[in-house]
Amino acid sequence: MASSKIKSQKVSETIRITDLADPELNELQQSIHAFGRTLNVTLDPGDILEEASNATGLEDFGAKDFRGRLDLLCNEWSNDQGLNNLGRMSLRNKLLLFAKNRLLIQDLLTRHPEIHDVTIKAPIIVAGLPRSGTTHLLNLMAADSRLRSLPLWESYEPVPMPGEPALESGVDPRYQRCADTWEMMQQTVPKLAAMHPMNPDHIHEELELMGPDFASYNFEWLCQCPDWRDHYYATDQTPHYEYMKTVLKILTWQDGDDGSHTRWVLKCPQHLEQLTVLQTVFPDATVAITHRDPVAVIQSAATMLAYGQRMSRSAIDMHGIIDYWSERVVHLLKACSRDHQKLADANRIDVPFHDFMTDDIGMVRKIYAKAGLPMNEEATNELRQFLEENPRGKHGRIVYNLQDDFGINPEKLRERFSFYFEQFPVQAER
- Domain membership of residue 321 (yes or no) is yes
Q: Give the model's pLDDT for residue 5.
A: 30
For 116, half-sphere exposure in the C-beta direction (CA atoms, 13 angstrom radius) is 8
- The 10s digit of each residue's pLDDT in 85-136 is 999 999 999 999 999 999 999 999 999 999 999 999 999 999 999 889 999 9
- Residue 250: what pLDDT? 98
Task: Quote the pLDDT of residue 12.
Answer: 52
Predicted confidence (pLDDT) per residue in 376-408, tens digit: 999 999 999 999 998 877 778 899 999 999 999
Confidence of residue 330 (pLDDT cuts 50, 70, 90): very high
Residue 40 falls inside a structural domain: no
The answer to whether residue 58 is domain-embedded is no
Chain segment 256-305, per-residue pLDDT in tens: 999 999 999 999 999 999 999 999 999 999 999 999 999 999 999 999 99
Answer whether residue 192 is part of any domain: yes
Residue 11 pLDDT greater than 60, yes or no: no
Mean pLDDT, the chain, rounded, equals: 94
Range 124-152 average pLDDT: 96
- 414-422 contacts, C-beta under 8 A, 24 or more apart: 414/293, 414/294, 414/295, 416/294, 416/326, 416/330, 417/294, 417/295, 417/329, 417/330, 417/333, 419/333, 419/334, 419/337, 420/294, 420/333, 420/337
Is 390 within a domain? yes
Question: How many structural domains comprise the chain?
Answer: 1
pLDDT (tens digit, 9 = 90+) per residue, 331-374? 999 999 999 999 999 999 999 999 999 999 999 999 999 999 99
Structural domain that includes position 395: 11-22+122-156+172-423
pTM: 0.95
In a domain, 6, yes or no: no
Give the per-residue pLDDT at 193: 80
* CATH number, residue 273: 3.40.50.300
pLDDT in tens, 154-205: 999 999 999 898 888 889 999 999 999 999 999 999 998 888 888 999 999 9
User: Is 165 part of any domain?
Assistant: no
